[in-house]
């Protein structure tokens, strides 16, 4: 099967590159993926997939870090000006920018799902001739939005799989689901899709990433380095007063935020695994001679396990409450994102490993690789699949990068997309030899 598949992917590569560069040029941050989602929906519909869109695959109450209604409307109008297909936008309006495409082969077999993400980062891309996307005319045209993590490549891989699966449909069994997720950055989107039930029928689940420091030509079949995380915004509300004439009448929100910041970094580490805490933003006050009546913080906790992250998070809540009490101010908390830790299921990792051997473009296939600890909300999907008796993993395709992830100079070797399509398609093509839930 590999030879016809390789030929299909070779012929498809120019289209992969075209898709990827178009998505890169029109980068859209989380919950703003109106143009991207409309183009993805159009291609999947053209191919004949059964589509579930927007509110069908996103639970409104489970969304996190949602922008204001005004910003969502402004970004939808921006997307229309940049070529979003308006026939699809009613499904996605309001930030419901998720898609699930299903192929039912009509032949007995399990359900296999692949998850790719679509969103960009809130980052300005480098506009300089030394940067290939700028030099070749596909740098982001949207200020403050850049594909600096490879999600443009992930979306393209998903579309490439859709094309290949239609061409090879007579050789497939069971059902194939392609999940196009919004708002992965900030770990905001996956939980809402899980709560909508999109993976409840899945037997075998695979999430996809490129790069992440994995050497070019290497496939990691079961990445397990992701930390559980909770991301929250904190707003302190005090009372303004003249700092010289009547300081006793004030309630200092700035001081509460400063004390909270120091206290958060003093949270003890946990003996059972690594943990992290960070205050990434602190904004407060209006003037030199005014007791600050407001302060705003962006905070995140992380833990090697869900339990460790929960420990740090609960300690953080105590610190924030204590700081507010000390200064006599009120405070509000908003949950902006979250992800779990998740262990891939070993039988599925081993199956991926076996199928990847001999794939052209892969020089090394490993089960695990020690990596710097980040977080990824596909873990919600993995855990839900496992809780229903299915198997799940997270694969990483190593490739050459021009700079590290989340960097204004980020770019990647586009040939990795073809390698990923070949490898992932092989998992579905040979799945009947593996079986169903076990």
Instruction: Write out pLDDT tens, residues 160-218.
Output: 999 999 999 999 999 999 999 999 999 999 999 999 999 999 999 999 999 999 999 99
Helix (H, G, I), strand (E, B) or coil at 222: coil
8 Å CB contact between 418 and 13: yes
pLDDT of residue 342: 92
DSSP string, 310-337: HHHHHHHHHHHHHHHHHHT-EEEEEEEE
Burial 401-435 (b: 16+ CB within 10 A, else e): beeebebebbbbbbebbbbbbbbbbbbbbebbebe
pLDDT of residue 435: 61
pLDDT of residue 82: 98
DSSP 182: S
| Residue-level length of the chain | 438
Torsion angles phi and psi, residue 285, rounded to 5: 80, 165
Model pTM? 0.93
pLDDT of residue 438: 40
Using left for φ > 0, alpha for ψ between -120 and 50, and beta otherwise, residue 83 falls in: left
8 Å CB contact between 31 and 77: no
pLDDT tens-digit profile, the chain (438 residues): 457 899 999 999 999 999 999 999 999 999 999 999 999 999 999 999 999 999 999 999 999 999 999 999 999 999 999 999 999 999 999 999 999 999 999 999 999 999 999 999 999 999 999 999 999 999 999 999 999 999 999 999 999 999 999 999 999 999 999 999 999 999 999 999 999 999 999 999 999 999 999 999 999 999 988 999 999 999 999 999 999 999 999 999 999 999 999 999 999 999 999 999 999 999 999 999 999 999 999 999 999 999 999 999 999 999 999 999 999 999 999 999 999 999 999 999 999 999 999 899 999 999 988 766 689 999 999 999 999 999 999 999 999 999 999 999 999 999 999 999 999 999 999 998 776 444
Question: How many degrees, rounded to 5, is the angle at CA 418 between CA 412 and CA 419?
Answer: 90
Note the CATH architecture for domain 228-338: 2-Layer Sandwich (3.30)
Instruction: Write out pLDDT tens, residues 21-72.
Output: 999 999 999 999 999 999 999 999 999 999 999 999 999 999 999 999 999 9
pLDDT of residue 358: 86
Torsion angles phi and psi, residue 307, rounded to 5: -70, -40
Note the CATH architecture for domain 2-226+342-433: 3-Layer(aba) Sandwich (3.40)
3-state helix, strand, coil in the chain (%, to 5): 40, 20, 40
Which segments of the chain belong to CATH 3.40.630.10?
Answer: 2-226+342-433
Which segments of the chain belong to CATH 3.30.70.360?
Answer: 228-338
């Amino acid at each position: 099967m590999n030879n016809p598949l390789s030929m299909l992917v070779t012929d498809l590569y120019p289209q992969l590159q075209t898709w990827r560069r178009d998505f890169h040029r029109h980068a859209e941050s989380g919950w703003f993926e109106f143009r991207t989602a409309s183009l993805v929906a159009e291609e999947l519909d053209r191919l004949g997939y059964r589509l579930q869109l927007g509110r069908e695959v996103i639970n409104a109450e489970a969304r996190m870090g949602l922008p204001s209604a005004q910003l969502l409307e402004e970004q939808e109008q921006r997307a229309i000006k940049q070529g979003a297909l308006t026939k699809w936008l009613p499904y996605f309006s309001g930030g419901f920018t998720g898609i699930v495409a299903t192929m039912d082969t009509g032949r007995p077999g399990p359900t296999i799902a692949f998850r790719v993400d679509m969103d960009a980062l809130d980052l300005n891309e480098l506009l300089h001739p030394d940067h290939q996307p700028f030099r070749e005319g596909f740098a982001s045209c949207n200020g403050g939005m850049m594909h600096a993590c490879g999600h443009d490549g992930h979306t393209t891989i998903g579309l490439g799989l859709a094309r290949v699966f239609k061409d090879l449909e007579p050789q497939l069994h069971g059902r194939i689901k392609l999940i196009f997720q919004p708002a992965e950055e900030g770990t905001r989107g996956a939980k809402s899709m899980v709560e909508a039930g999109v993976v409840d029928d899945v037997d075998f689940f695979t999430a996809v990433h490129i790069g992440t420091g994995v050497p070019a030509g290497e496939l990691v079949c079961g990445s397990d380095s992701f930390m559980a995380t909770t991301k929250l915004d904190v707003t302190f509300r005090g009372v303004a007063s003249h700092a010289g004439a009547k300081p006793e009448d004030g309630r200092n929100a700035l001081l509460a935020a400063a004390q909270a910041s120091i206290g958060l970094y003093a949270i003890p580490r946990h003996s059972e695994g690594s943990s992290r805490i960070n205050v990434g933003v602190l904004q407060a006050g209006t003037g030199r001679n005014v007791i600050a009546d407001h302060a705003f913080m962006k905070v995140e906790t992380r833990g090697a396990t869900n339990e460790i992250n929960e420990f740090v998070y609960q300690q953080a809540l105590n610190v924030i409450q204590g700081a507010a009490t000390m200064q006599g101010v009120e405070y509000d908390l908003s949950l902006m994102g979250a992800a779990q830790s998740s262990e891939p299921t070993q039988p599925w990792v081993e199956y991926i490993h076996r199928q990847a051997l001999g794939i052209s473009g892969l020089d090394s296939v490993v089960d695990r690789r020690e990596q710097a600890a980040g977080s990824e909300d596909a873990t919600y999907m993995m855990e839900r699949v496992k809780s229903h008796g299915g198997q799940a993993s997270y694969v990483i395709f190593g490739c050459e990068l021009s700079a590290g992830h989340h960097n204004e100079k980020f770019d990647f070797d586009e040939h990795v997309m073809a390698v990923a399509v070949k490898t992932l398609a092989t998992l579905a093509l040979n799945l009947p030899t593996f079986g169903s839930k076990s």
